[in-house]
Structure 1
Amino acid sequence: MPGPAAGAPVAAVPVAAPAPVVRCRHCGTANEAGRTLCVRCALPLDPGPAPAAPPPWWRRLLRRGGRQAPLAGTRPRPAWRRPRIVLPLVLVLLACGIWFGLPYAKDLLGLVRNEVVPPEALPPSAVRASEALKGHPATAAFDGFSNRYWAVAGTGPTLEADFGEPGVGVTKLVVLAGTSTKKDEFLTQARPARLRVELVAADGGTSTRRITLKDQPGQQTFDLHGSGVTRIRVTPETAYGAARGRHVALAEVEFFGHRG
């Protein structure tokens, strides 16, 4: 067949348009337009419209029903069980516990401090007695010397120690009965057998404890608990070795605890 004549115009041959592609928004791979899943990562090429914003938490608490199934090809999120009435109830109970526990927070902190911090000596700011024999005043029971003592004719008189406000926290009581820590001097006079100890707080409240002493020289230690104590009264109720011409002797009284 003869070819076209020289100089004759050549007809243009149409070029086929490139096939449309869809880029995967997850991995960037080009896919044919008709595909729904990516040829590389198998995730949806057109996941559809963006999910609606989640409702407020208070509306989710009231909503009931099953959990919506995930879309095909998507990775499901970890299941989370929505709080219903239990979580709000726990929060309300916790708030009530804090509210009603505030008045006792100071006592609780004081209790923790008493258990952790070693007690210190609590010398009183003033002392007095309802009765005392000559040469044996109330101050002799708080001077730190075991050979000087407070003496009374018999049981019943009161020995008082003041600590001032806001008071002290008392944890221990140390007593040295009799006239001395030496055995021969200890037995020369009567000794307290039972003491009534009254703790007076800054708000006027009082607590009483009765302590039984052993009839022996040397210090005897007792637990004695009180907070905000501003005054302590010590009263001998009974005595060892009481007889005509013998007086009741109390060599030393010491208090331990924490200030403030």
Structure 2
Amino acid sequence: MRECPACGASNGPTDDFCGNCGSYLGWSGTPTAPTAPTDPAVPTDPVAPVAAPSPPAAPRPADPSPPTEPPRAEPPRAAAAPPLSSPLPAPPLPSLPPPDSPQPVRPAKPVAPRPVVRPVPVDDDAAGTPCPSCGTPNPPDRRFCRRCATPLTPSTAPPPLPWWRTIWPLRRRTRAGSGRTTRFLVVLAVVLALCAGGFLLLPAGRNLIEDTRDKLGKSKQVTPVRVEASAEVPGQPAGNATDGLSNRYWGAPGPGASITYTFAEPFRLVAVIVTNGASTSPEDYAREGRALRIALEVTASNGRKSVEQLTLVDKPGPQTFPTGISDVTSIRLTLEAPAGLDGDRHLALAELEFFRRS
């Protein structure tokens, strides 16, 4: 078992890198066997004392067996030295410090103790996911290869966002390749389209707002300052069409006759009420002819003209027509599509009422 020097995790004896943190395990080799301690009392390099001379050997006694030859005379021997009573004194030994005595060292900095990790046996022969770099099998619980420390579960970078997801919000951070140029072109095209649409649809939008105000607001009747007719029958002048009385009418000799109303100041015409025929009474209504269609020509303060067709129902009583025309200064009505015009009858128009927004 090899313990990681960085995190303390257990690794196999043949692993080169830690499976938990990927640190190199070569710095944490197997511990060497400690040498046997020496006895401090016995000096490791003592000076050997000088040995005292040994006494001379005693003469060997003569063989008791009878000699085969006649004995010869022995030469005289020297006298033996007297034995020493005590050995020679040894020279003095130098004073050496004990080999294991503590030596002076520099004070060390305190180091926090590493966490103690309980060793867990690792099966070195376990088969698992092969390393994508060197192909070495690794156990399933390892995050780094035991041979080359390659990450076994590399985190894949997310793919770049498509350009349509980078349009909004505008301050979204985009990575390289996310279509920043396409995003800019799309936003520019949208802005240009909105400007063009606003320019082209501005009149329609303005009319929609004005129509809404016409329906939600109140209206009041406006009186013209001058009335002129292109033709009229004797006794039925054009002023009878705006006198507020429904039993008097403007008489026109035939279709194509027109009547023009002029107003003091421009206003928004929101509605026109037409009372057709000679009167609101059914008997008087059928007595004279009437126009079933009226061409309404409105002139604005800038000189622009607009024409609308008012189709009437052939029955007595007022009929309302919403208009919604701004800056009106004059109105001209032309009688068309006559009905009941036979003999000496003429076209009758009892009343015309104009309303503006209050």
Q: Equivalent residue for 2:340?
A: 241
**Counterpart Cα distance in 1 of 2:261 and 2:193:** 41
Q: CA deviation at 1:157?
A: 1.7
Where do 5+ consecutive residues of structure 1 fail to align? 1-11, 22-30, 33-56, 66-80
**Counterpart Cα distance in 2 of 1:87 and 1:213:** 57
Query: Segments of 4+ in structure 1 off by > 4 A?
Result: 12-15
**Counterpart Cα distance in 2 of 1:172 and 1:121:** 10
Would you say 1:201 and 2:274 are equivalent positions?
A: no
Corresponding residue to 1:17 among 103, 109, 118: 109
**Counterpart Cα distance in 2 of 1:86 and 1:258:** 47
**Counterpart Cα distance in 1 of 2:222 and 2:235:** 22
Look up the SS of the partner of 2:245 in the other structure: coil
Look up the SS of the partner of 2:236 in the other structure: coil
Asked whether the 8 Å contact 1:147–1:251 carries over to 2, the reply is yes
Instruction: Number of aligned residue pairs: give it.
Output: 197
Q: CA deviation at 1:164?
A: 5.6
Would you say 1:161 and 2:161 are equivalent positions?
A: no
Asked whether the 8 Å contact 1:164–1:231 carries over to 2, the reply is no
> Which TM-score applies when normalising by structure 1?
0.60
Asked whether the 8 Å contact 2:222–2:356 carries over to 1, the reply is no
Q: Structure 1 pair 155/18, CA: closer, same or farther in 2 (3 Å)?
A: same
Greater RCO (Cα-Cα under 8 Å, separation 6 or more): 1
Q: Equivalent residue for 2:219?
A: 120
Q: CA deviation at 1:186?
A: 1.6
Asked whether the 8 Å contact 2:270–2:322 carries over to 1, the reply is yes
Q: Structure 1 pair 13/110, CA: closer, same or farther in 2 (3 Å)?
A: same
Where do 5+ consecutive residues of structure 2 fail to align? 1-103, 115-169
Would you say 1:214 and 2:214 are equivalent positions?
A: no
User: CA offsets per residue over residues 15-74 of structure 1, 9 Å max, x none?
Assistant: 54334x8xxxxxxxxx99xxxxxxxxxxxxxxxxxxxxxxxx9xx98x844xxxxxxxxx
**Counterpart Cα distance in 1 of 2:275 and 2:214:** 25
Look up the SS of the partner of 2:316 in the other structure: coil
> Which TM-score applies when normalising by structure 2?
0.45
Report the structure number with the largest CA radius of gyration: 2
Asked whether the 8 Å contact 1:114–1:258 carries over to 2, the reply is no
Would you say 1:85 and 2:182 are equivalent positions?
A: yes
- What is the letter of the counterpart of residue 132 of structure 1? E
Look up the SS of the partner of 1:140 in the other structure: helix
Q: Structure 1 pair 163/114, CA: closer, same or farther in 2 (3 Å)?
A: farther
Corresponding residue to 1:139 among 212, 222, 239: 239
- What is the letter of the counterpart of residue 202 of structure 2? A
User: CA offsets per residue over residues 163-216 of structure 1, 9 Å max, x none?
Assistant: 466x44444332111121111222222222222222223333333333332221
User: CA offsets per residue over residues 142-162 of structure 1, 9 Å max, x none?
Assistant: 233222221222222211123
Q: CA deviation at 1:254?
A: 2.4
RMSD: 3.7
- What is the letter of the counterpart of residue 233 of structure 1? R
- What is the letter of the counterpart of residue 306 of structure 2? S
**Counterpart Cα distance in 2 of 1:121 and 1:103:** 33
Q: CA deviation at 1:222?
A: 3.1
- What is the letter of the counterpart of residue 272 of structure 2? L
1:220-231 pair list within 5 angstroms: 220-224=319-323, 226-231=325-330
- What is the letter of the counterpart of residue 112 of structure 1? I
**Counterpart Cα distance in 2 of 1:182 and 1:157:** 24
**Counterpart Cα distance in 2 of 1:142 and 1:135:** 15
**Counterpart Cα distance in 1 of 2:182 and 2:263:** 53
% identity of equivalent residues: 32
Corresponding residue to 1:252 among 339, 344, 351: 351
Look up the SS of the partner of 1:176 in the other structure: strand
**Counterpart Cα distance in 2 of 1:124 and 1:161:** 9
Asked whether the 8 Å contact 2:214–2:324 carries over to 1, the reply is no
Q: Equivalent residue for 1:54?
A: none
